Amino acid sequence: MTRPSTDQSETSLQRLDLVQPLLLDSARRTEQALRKYMGDLAQVPPQLLEAMQYSLFAGGKRVRPALVFACGSLFDAPEVDMLPAAAAMECVHTFSLIHDDLPAMDDDDLRRGVPTNHKVFGEAMAILAGDALLSLAFQILTERVGEAMVAAAMVRELATATGPVGMIGGQVADILGETEEPTPAKVRYIHERKTAALLAASCRLGGLSGRTGQDDIRAVGEYGYHLGLAFQLADDALDATATAEQLGKRTGKDTRAGKQTMVRLAGVEATLQAADDHVQRALGAVDRYGEAAAPLKALAEFVVRRSC
Amino acid sequence: MTRPSTDQSETSLQRLDLVQPLLLDSARRTEQALRKYMGDLAQVPPQLLEAMQYSLFAGGKRVRPALVFACGSLFDAPEVDMLPAAAAMECVHTFSLIHDDLPAMDDDDLRRGVPTNHKVFGEAMAILAGDALLSLAFQILTERVGEAMVAAAMVRELATATGPVGMIGGQVADILGETEEPTPAKVRYIHERKTAALLAASCRLGGLSGRTGQDDIRAVGEYGYHLGLAFQLADDALDATATAEQLGKRTGKDTRAGKQTMVRLAGVEATLQAADDHVQRALGAVDRYGEAAAPLKALAEFVVRRSC
């Protein structure tokens, strides 16, 4: 991997110092909001609530909420509008993890070092807990119907990024790709939809909560898109190089499953280089915001550096 | 089952004559809209589109869209607002059928006389096609963000009726109930959420598309709620009495699975009587609209009579 010059390195390290408090703060705000929303669910079968909460509070890094908060803060978004967006993003993300881990999909027993949802609650409940979290995301986004313009726009962003043209389409391509030779186009298609769509949506929801214009929404969306591609590339490299202990889940499984990854196409070094290139493009997209974009820049660098 | 007096019977039969053209018209409009929405999905893996369309166009009666149109028409709703609501309801309904049929759930091989989604496309694709249809419903509802108040209110209704406090919560209770003795309270809880929530939402979305007031929304919602309970009771009776050939799916399976049904609690006759009572309450809820409610009254009677 090409090393940046010393000056850049120092800036990068200073930026990385920003990330830990930023993620902790985002996790705290998001989890508080999620607990409130879960508490509002009256008369839900307790077993369903338990299955939903098991995965929702399994110690994720809350990167998507952090993007909502960081992008929203660029435009002085009120907390009351960022919280539902952050919580909804995490509901959709958790839904996708639960369904991805199912025996019919990736068949994973372990996630973040603990048994996957279906290993604890059974397959039927895991499918339904995922379905429930996906629905709940849209319910949460429309809690404040008085702010209908913002709510409707957020629903549209999230539904599009999640659905057949977004993450779910990417997951289908990912599964189908297991029986095909990897090509750069297929890898890009999967990465764009499976990962970048939802990270870009997190940023755009942040922008929407700040009621900013289309230009700004586009800029933070582009940042999130490149961040997402960098994230997925770094993740693929990590799967090929880290130990199961480091990751809290099985590693090397992409290669075993015959997944479409850039590592298989071009090796670990080239994959990390490509990730770095996307980080640079992410930084470029928000350069216009100067110092205000420091948290976004720190997050982008964190995404690839965690794998070094 | 208590027979109504001759006068009522004649009215009922005249009303039933209304139903077939009403359902055919609703199916035609809904399917045209659905084909347009599916056509708008660019760059979706063809296998995913095929799996979604297989179940979406499997010849359902389109009762939920018919309720959207019938309730919307009461308040002169424009077609352009009823169509997304009708299409979204059908996407959510189809999602629920695909997931309910999965091996981990009801494990059904046959639906409407043809193989279930997972029998044709495999379990992973069936799960993802269901997920995609659920997301797509919310994307469709927000197509016209210019009408944000209506869109956001519709999303909220649909998400609530679908999610943990609605249909998905009912499905969980249904599965958990298989290992428990049936009680009237449990049966009611399941019927309210698994069926009535989405039928009531269809009616409320119809009302919302007509931009009518809370009083009207409540009235058509109450109609849909009682219609939903009548529908589920009649369905349970049908499962106990009809042949597989008549229904295009396995019968008698509720009893075999130990499901919570009123038939197990009180027998077929009492179940049909209870269904009839709910039809009467549904009719009462929309009585205030006089002749304009004739299609709604016809639909309510159709729902139980189809099983006689």
- In this predicted complex, what is the ipTM? 0.92
Query: B98 burial class (0-12, 13-18, 19+ CB within 10 angstroms)?
Result: buried
pLDDT, tens digit (0-9, with 9 covering 90-100), for B85-128: 999 999 999 999 999 999 999 999 999 889 999 999 999 999 99
Query: Which pLDDT belongs to residue B29?
Result: 97
Nearest to B53 by CA among B109, B101, B110, B120: B120
Nearest to A269 by CA among A234, A227, A306, A223: A234
pLDDT over threshold 80, residue B9 = no
The answer, for B156 touching chain A at a CB cutoff of 8 Å, is yes
Chain A residue numbers with beta carbons less than 8 Å from the beta carbon of B171 are 128
Query: Which pLDDT belongs to residue A246?
Result: 67
* Chain A residue with minimum CA distance to B50: A164
Q: Do A171 and B142 touch (CB under 8 A)?
A: no
Which among A42, A104, A149 has the least Cβ separation from residue B165?
A42
Q: Do B124 and A175 touch (CB under 8 A)?
A: yes
Nearest to A108 by CA among A232, A247, A241: A247
* Chain B residue with minimum CA distance to A40: B165
Q: Do B168 and A45 touch (CB under 8 A)?
A: no
* Chain B residue with minimum CA distance to A169: B44
- The runs of H, that is alpha helices, within chain B are 6-39, 46-56, 63-74, 79-100, 117-121, 123-141, 148-162, 167-176, 184-191, 197-209, 214-241, 244-247, 253-257, 262-285, 294-305
Do A274 and A262 meet the contact criterion of CB atoms below 8 Å apart?
yes
The answer, for A49 touching chain B at a CB cutoff of 8 Å, is yes
The answer, for A84 touching chain B at a CB cutoff of 8 Å, is no
The answer, for B248 touching chain A at a CB cutoff of 8 Å, is no
Which among A134, A148, A149 has the least Cβ separation from residue B131?
A134
- Predicted TM-score (pTM) of the model is 0.92
Query: Which pLDDT belongs to residue B41?
Result: 92
The answer, for B244 touching chain A at a CB cutoff of 8 Å, is no
The answer, for B71 touching chain A at a CB cutoff of 8 Å, is no
* Chain A residue with minimum CA distance to B166: A44
Phi, psi of A7 (to 5 degrees): -55, -50
Chain B residue numbers with beta carbons less than 8 Å from the beta carbon of A175 are 124-125, 128
Collapsed DSSP state (helix, strand, coil) of residue B4: coil
Calpha distance B121→A173 (Å, rounded): 14
Which among A47, A135, A172 has the least Cβ separation from residue B159?
A135
Q: Do B155 and A158 touch (CB under 8 A)?
A: no
pLDDT over threshold 80, residue B266 = yes
The answer, for B139 touching chain A at a CB cutoff of 8 Å, is yes
pLDDT over threshold 50, residue B4 = no
Mean pLDDT for chain B overall? 90
Q: Do A124 and B135 touch (CB under 8 A)?
A: no
Query: Which pLDDT belongs to residue B240?
Result: 86
Q: Which residues of chain A have pLDDT under 50?
A: 1-7, 307-308
A&B contacts, CB < 8 Å: 173
Do B148 and A153 meet the contact criterion of CB atoms below 8 Å apart?
yes
Rounded to an integer, the average pLDDT of B27-40 is 96
Chain A residue numbers with beta carbons less than 8 Å from the beta carbon of B127 are 99, 102, 104-105, 127
Nearest to A101 by CA among A137, A128, A127, A64: A127
pLDDT over threshold 90, residue B147 = no
Query: Which pLDDT belongs to residue B129?
Result: 97
A55-85 burial, b at 16+ Cβ within 10 Å, e below that, comes to bbebebebbbbbbbbbbbbbbebeeebbbbb
Q: Do A131 and B132 touch (CB under 8 A)?
A: no
Query: Which pLDDT belongs to residue B146?
Result: 65
The answer, for A288 touching chain B at a CB cutoff of 8 Å, is no
Beta partners for residue A111, in sequence order: A114
Q: Do A49 and B164 touch (CB under 8 A)?
A: yes
Calpha distance A264→A268 (Å, rounded): 8
The answer, for A141 touching chain B at a CB cutoff of 8 Å, is yes
Q: Do B135 and A171 touch (CB under 8 A)?
A: no
Q: Do B48 and A168 touch (CB under 8 A)?
A: yes
Query: Which pLDDT belongs to residue A285?
Result: 98
Q: Do A127 and B138 touch (CB under 8 A)?
A: no
Q: What distance in Å separates residue B136's CA from the closest CA in chain A?
A: 6
Nearest to A85 by CA among A34, A124, A123, A130: A34
What does the longest C-alpha to C-alpha distance in chain B come to? 58
* Residues 6+ away with beta carbon under 8 Å from A303: A63, A227, A230, A231, A234, A279
Best-predicted range by mean pLDDT among A255-269, B45-59, B135-149, B254-268? B45-59
